Amino acid sequence: MRIAVTSDIHVDKNGPGVLRALASRVAELQPDVLVLAGDVATPLPTLLEALLSLRPCAREMVFVAGNHDVWSHPLSLAQGVDAWTRLDRLIPALCQEAGVHDLDTGPVVIDGVGFVGTLGWWDLSMRDEALGAPEDAYQRGEFGGLRWMDHVFARFRREGEDMPYAQVAVELRERLRAQLQAVNADRVVGVTHMVQFPSQLAYKSHPGWRFCQGFIGHRSLGEMLAADERVVLSACGHTHSPSDQQIGRLRAVCSPLGYRGEWLGRPDVQAVERAVSLVEI
């Protein structure tokens, strides 16, 4: 099976040109399955446009939401549209309209290969302890003049109250566990938006980045995938640093496009080419 992996295409920030370049790159690779591991766009019409453009480029397409995909504008939040509404109701409806398998709603088996997945959520388990940022800085998402914007826009409400992010991380991790238990396949591909293994983080010395590392991953997502002998491939996004690693039996791929400002001046076509990894399993 030929699987193309990409993530973090941020169409609302990068512009629709990346979508055309990406669609033609994916079509060229002729994958059986396209894995899109989140961070497509915050505006839902843009997210739908991206799904519709990419869908015809592969025989099947699977998706998990990224943190940017579940952000709510304060006006929509006031109307009751929180992150759960986007994750569990609005985004699944867009995926259905586009003919894309939304793994956040459950696993799928394609040609005998199981696909499981979740947005997942950061749980501070990959934070840089040596930085010495105080606990309440992590709780507020603010340190040294830097603000982690999930604390502003990613609002998971339960009974009218914001849920603690630690609780969100546990709930989404347990959804992944339930999917692994439910999926009936000898080989499995695990997809999360959040980073799964600490080795997938690129070290940067800037204190702001070192602080942000706390909001990048969730170790037990990787541990859970690595512990299941059927999982041969895992894909994630969220960090905009690409990686391709062998971790025990499983190959862990992160193949993000990231923001235009991170492309080191490369034109769209080149940036997009680097952002789609083809894996054969």
Show the binding pattern over residues 229-248: x = contacts Fe ion (CB under 5 A), - = does not. ---------x----------
- The CA distance from 194 to 23, in Å, is 24
Six-digit token string for 193: 């938006």
Q: Which of 66, 214, 217, 222 binds Fe ion (CB under 5 A)?
A: 66
> Do the Cβ atoms of 252 and 237 come closer than 8 Å?
no
Give the nearer residue to Fe ion in terms of CB position, either 186 or 262.
262
Longest CA pairwise span in the chain (Å): 50
Residue type for 39, please?
D
Least separation, in Å, of the C-beta of 44 and Fe ion?
A: 17
Q: Any residues with CB less than 8 A from the CB of 182 and at least 6 apart, and which?
A: 106, 107
Give the nearer residue to Fe ion in terms of CB position, either 40 or 226.
40
- Number of residues in contact with Fe ion, rule: CB under 5 A? 5
Show the binding pattern over residues 196-235: x = contacts Fe ion (CB under 5 A), - = does not. ----------------------------------------
Strand (E) or helix (H) holding 11: helix 11-14
Specify the stretch interacting with Fe ion by CB under 5 A; choose among 14-22, 37-45, 94-102, 129-137.
37-45
Least separation, in Å, of the C-beta of 70 and Fe ion?
A: 10
Specify the stretch interacting with Fe ion by CB under 5 A; choose among 8-16, 183-191, 205-213, 272-280.
8-16
Least separation, in Å, of the C-beta of 216 and Fe ion?
A: 8
Least separation, in Å, of the C-beta of 240 and Fe ion?
A: 6
Q: Which residue is listed with tokens 């830097």? A: 146
Specify the stretch interacting with Fe ion by CB under 5 A; choose among 2-10, 97-105, 120-128, 206-214.
2-10
Give the nearer residue to Fe ion in terms of CB position, either 185 or 209.
209
Q: Which of 4, 5, 8, 36 binds Fe ion (CB under 5 A)?
A: 8
- By CB under 5 A, residue 67 contacts Fe ion: yes
- The CA distance from 209 to 279, in Å, is 30
User: Helix, strand or coil for residue 97?
Assistant: helix
Cα within 13 Å of Cα(215), Cβ side? 22
> Do the Cβ atoms of 6 and 256 come closer than 8 Å?
yes
Least separation, in Å, of the C-beta of 115 and Fe ion?
A: 20
Least separation, in Å, of the C-beta of 260 and Fe ion?
A: 12
| Residue spans of alpha helices (H) in 30-154 | 44-54, 74-78, 83-85, 91-98, 135-140, 150-153
Six-digit token string for 199: 């080795």
Give the nearer residue to Fe ion in terms of CB position, either 67 or 179.
67
- The CA distance from 29 to 45, in Å, is 27
Site residues (CB under 5 A) for Fe ion? 8, 39, 66-67, 238
